[in-house]
Amino acid sequence: MTTRIFGSGIRRREDPRLITGGATYTDDVKLPGMAFAAILRSPHAHAKINSIDTSAAAAAPGVVAVYTGADTDGVLNPIPCAWIPPDSDVKAVDHPALAKDVVRYQGDAVAVVVAENRYQAEDALELIKVDYSILPAVVNPEAAMQPGAPQLHEDAPNNQAFHWVAAGGDTDAAFASADVIVKDTIVHQRLIPNAMEPRSAVATWTESMGELTLWSTSQNPHICRFLASLVTGVAEHKIRVIATEVGGGFGSKIPVYADEMITSFCSMQLGRPVKWTATRSEGFQATIHGRDHVEHVEMAATREGKITAVRSVIYAGMGAYLSTAGPGVPTILHGLMYCGPYDIAATKADIYGVFSNATPVDAYRGAGRPEATFLVERLVDLLAVELGIDPVELRRKNLIPKFEDGHDVASGITYDSGDYEPILNMVLGHVDYQALRQEQARMREHGEYMGIGVTCYSEICGLGPSQVAGAVGFGGGLWESAIVRFHPTGKVNVYTGVSPHGQGEETTFAQIVSDELGVDVDDVGIVHGDTSNTPMGWGTYGSRTTAVGAAALVLAVRKVKEKARLLAAHLLEAAEADVEYADGKFFVKGSPDQSKTIQEMATMANVAWNMPEGMEPGLEASAFYDPPNFVYPFGAHVAVVHVDPDNGHIEVKRYVAGDDCGPQINPMIVEGQVHGGVVQGAGQVLWEGAVYDDNGQLLTGSMTDYALPRAHMFPNIETLFTVTPSPHNPLGVKGIGETGAIASTATIYNAVMDALRPLGVTGIDMPLTPEKVWQAIREKQGS
């Protein structure tokens, strides 16, 4: 019995080139005759543009061209939003690539300079004179909907971008008859994604062919091409988008931004290649932000601790314009998940999407689901306090019992499979929960504040059935496809429409092929990210790459395998029914010495000297996979924190992540995804958050003020797993890319509040900076 490569933690093949600087990112692309673009951004959050004087910039050394909204108006179509939830009355407001009359957030693009080199472009930016009349600004989404608030768009009264309600079960009745109701106001501050690689674009227009090639830092080059054709007017088949090497995205590289459309415009105007790369400051201002919810939430329960309903009213900030997937995040990806892993008969999400004078908001790791988990888990902890029940016992009481093939929840969706108690028991056993509680009691006697947070979660990912995508207003499908092509020497390439950018699918996809076909993993190459040589696909986000992309791959692999088996039967002069496959070989039943490998079959199929009657030459297959349902990973996490009441400092002492993503192709990669996600979620609780002043100026506009988690700030993460396959997925796999971020924010937050409970503190807005904790303690101590 050989060890299976599926399930083995082999090293990531991507890493050597990434670690040694051998990867070619967009900014590394150098083309003959290439010019450089720099974009002038509004320094004001809201202002009318009276006039723009570009004459000095145009005359500056090295400057090739300067363009403003007057030049792009009517040439570039508006930047589209591609997710319009139905029955939500979305106001798809005009979003010009370069501002026309009004700027609506600090960072809104106003003009572009193209010069021979980047320094000249940056220098010339300073010479553009814009005469602004400053208008009043509003940033907070709840404030933006109040009467009298500054208005952003004429066609969106009260700044309401949309209103969307998802309700299932009789929430009103459940609240009316509840023994207990717990409430909270939760603010999910804006998070700034900060992928390591800044966004970048290189556009080159070939006039003679009428073709546009665009290198773009995209998580979804096929969507980028599709939207670029809408904006530029160049036909889709005349556009090639290349995003083979992308240095992290976390959702921030899903959207199609004004910047790459402006870059394309410049190249098309000038007939020469143009590169634009964001500075880190531009990244802070003009790459999407995540979260931005103001939530009023409540939970109803019986005296015995049976949760009966959850409901919310949420003001979800959209920023100044609707980003590509913006409206889908606080609605579909959030409002349907209020049951979490619990049996709750009624849920209602009442969501207002709101415009405000701040950077547009879109999907950021977890996208809607961290907020849903936080909402449920925060309320469960408040309920536990209210009822005097141990928070773990309360959770246990409400968990949905094990199910293997579908469970309908109140919001109308159907979870695929779940077995929530074993993973909870596993993490509790691992930390010895009772002993922790005893230690906590002992420490409190000495005036030391330790807190324990335990959460259970279930999340929705593996986006998703295309029919559902259509029904929920997503402007595309959510299926995937793959081509598996054997070459004459027996080596194989996989061409996939998903677009990994750090997650490691070049490795895991090769493992799948190797495992299914007995080909050495090093003989398998994965091709992704270039629309000219990969089949249509919808990209990498929503923890869908493996759940959907690998599912398509395995279906294609199985087609190839069947063709090879038939060819082997022919060459072995055996009846087709008598040829079987095991351990990398096709052999005649009963005589294993008479065998052929698939790589031998690849050679024979490619030369095609001796094919069975009617069989086409070549050994390749493609498959399309449209998932019948989403997948629903789940788990239980535990955090142990210490809070120093003297200075408000929080130290995370332990973090245990228990997750279930079904069978694991590569456990090392799974662990890496959990680590990254957990720390990213921790960032929201402890350190991160965009701060704007009342005029809409971003005060956390650089790495000096915006604290990202670093290795020394967090303990070693302990990971545990159970394996519950998805019933509908060909590999049984679920997603693991976002679970960490979905669970850890709530887990750590609950742990801190658990620590502070004896001091009378019940809630603090995130991030829980030392001063905020200290102030909250002081207020309660009345000093």
Partner 1 sequence: MFATEFEYKKANSVSEAIQLLSNDADAKLMAGGHSLIPLMKLRLARPGTVIDIGGIAELQGITANNGILRIGALTTHAQLAESPLVRDSARILWETAYGIGDPQVRNRGTIGGNVSHADPASDLPTVLVAMDAKFTIQGQGGITRRGSRTVAAADFFTGAFSTVLAENEILTAIEMPVLAANQHSEYAKMAHPATSYAVVGAAAVVTMDGNTCTVARVAVGGLTPSPVRGQSVEQALVGQELNAETIAAAANLIDNDLGSDIIGDIFASAEYRRAMAAIELKHAIFHATGLAHH
For partner 1, which stretch binds (CB under 8 A), given 293-301, 470-478, 599-607, 644-652?
644-652
Candidates 123, 506, 738, 754: give the one binding partner 1 (CB under 8 A): 123
Interface with partner 1 includes 56 (CB under 8 A)? no
The least CB distance from residue 108 to partner 1, in Å, is 19
Candidates 649, 654, 675, 757: give the one binding partner 1 (CB under 8 A): 649
Candidates 706, 714, 721, 749: give the one binding partner 1 (CB under 8 A): 706
Interface with partner 1 includes 118 (CB under 8 A)? yes
Candidates 19, 59, 607, 699: give the one binding partner 1 (CB under 8 A): 699
Directed axis angle between helix 391-398 and helix 369-387, to 10°? Answer: 120
Which CB, 727 or 770, lies closer to partner 1? 770
For partner 1, which stretch binds (CB under 8 A), given 293-301, 384-392, 573-581, 683-691?
683-691
Rounded distance between C-alpha atoms, residue 364 and residue 317, angstroms: 13
Residue 757 CA from chain centroid, whole number: 34
Candidates 3, 704, 716, 782: give the one binding partner 1 (CB under 8 A): 704
For partner 1, which stretch binds (CB under 8 A), given 24-32, 117-125, 216-224, 308-316?
117-125
For partner 1, which stretch binds (CB under 8 A), given 52-60, 118-126, 363-371, 573-581?
118-126
Which CB, 314 or 682, lies closer to partner 1? 682
Interface with partner 1 includes 779 (CB under 8 A)? no
The least CB distance from residue 678 to partner 1, in Å, is 17
For 450, phi then psi, to 5°, come to -105, 145
Residue type, position 664, single letter: Q
- Closest alpha carbon to 673 in 747, 735, 723: 735
The least CB distance from residue 280 to partner 1, in Å, is 6
Which CB, 466 or 700, lies closer to partner 1? 700
Rounded distance between C-alpha atoms, residue 578 and residue 266, angstroms: 63
Candidates 173, 389, 668, 691: give the one binding partner 1 (CB under 8 A): 691
In 517-616, which ranges are E strands? 524-527, 579-582, 585-588, 591-597
Candidates 89, 116, 122, 651: give the one binding partner 1 (CB under 8 A): 122
- Give bridge partners of residue 449 from the DSSP assignment: 643
Element (H, E) at 312: strand 307-319
Candidates 170, 713, 718, 757: give the one binding partner 1 (CB under 8 A): 713
Interface with partner 1 includes 6 (CB under 8 A)? no
The least CB distance from residue 42 to partner 1, in Å, is 17
Rounded distance between C-alpha atoms, residue 381 and residue 389, angstroms: 9
The least CB distance from residue 15 to partner 1, in Å, is 20
C-alpha separations of 423 from 18, 367, 398, 742, 750 in Å? 35, 24, 15, 16, 19
- Closest alpha carbon to 400 in 182, 175, 632, 629: 632
Residue type, position 603, single letter: T
Contact 586, 596 (CB under 8 A): yes
Contact 459, 660 (CB under 8 A): no
Interface with partner 1 includes 697 (CB under 8 A)? no
b/e map of 589-620 (b: 16 or more CB within 10 Å)? eeeeebbbbbbbbbbbbbeeeebeeeeeebbb
Binding to partner 1 (CB under 8 A) within 439-468 occurs at 448
Interface with partner 1 includes 34 (CB under 8 A)? no
Candidates 119, 441, 520, 615: give the one binding partner 1 (CB under 8 A): 119
Which CB, 303 or 712, lies closer to partner 1? 712
Interface with partner 1 includes 770 (CB under 8 A)? yes
Binding to partner 1 (CB under 8 A) within 274-303 occurs at 279-281
Contact 739, 321 (CB under 8 A): no
> Strand order of the sheet with strand 102-103?
102-103, 47-53, 129-134
Interface with partner 1 includes 705 (CB under 8 A)? yes
Interface with partner 1 includes 781 (CB under 8 A)? no
Directed axis angle between helix 551-571 and helix 598-607, to 10°? Answer: 70
The residues, any chain, with a CB within 8 Å of residue 761's CB and separated by 6 or more, are: 753, 773, 776, 777, 780
Which CB, 404 or 693, lies closer to partner 1? 693
DSSP 8-state code for residue 2: P
For partner 1, which stretch binds (CB under 8 A), given 22-30, 119-127, 144-152, 432-440?
119-127
The least CB distance from residue 772 to partner 1, in Å, is 9
Tell me how many residues contact partner 1 (CB under 8 A).
31
The least CB distance from residue 148 to partner 1, in Å, is 27
- CA count, 13 A, side-chain hemisphere, 140: 9
Token readout for 775 is 């102030």
C-alpha separations of 66 from 36, 76, 114, 228, 283 in Å? 12, 16, 6, 22, 22
Which CB, 529 or 709, lies closer to partner 1? 709
Which CB, 603 or 775, lies closer to partner 1? 775
**Interacting residues with partner 1 (CB under 8 A):** 118-119, 122-123, 126, 279-281, 448, 646-647, 649, 686-687, 691, 699-700, 702-708, 710, 713, 769-771, 774-775
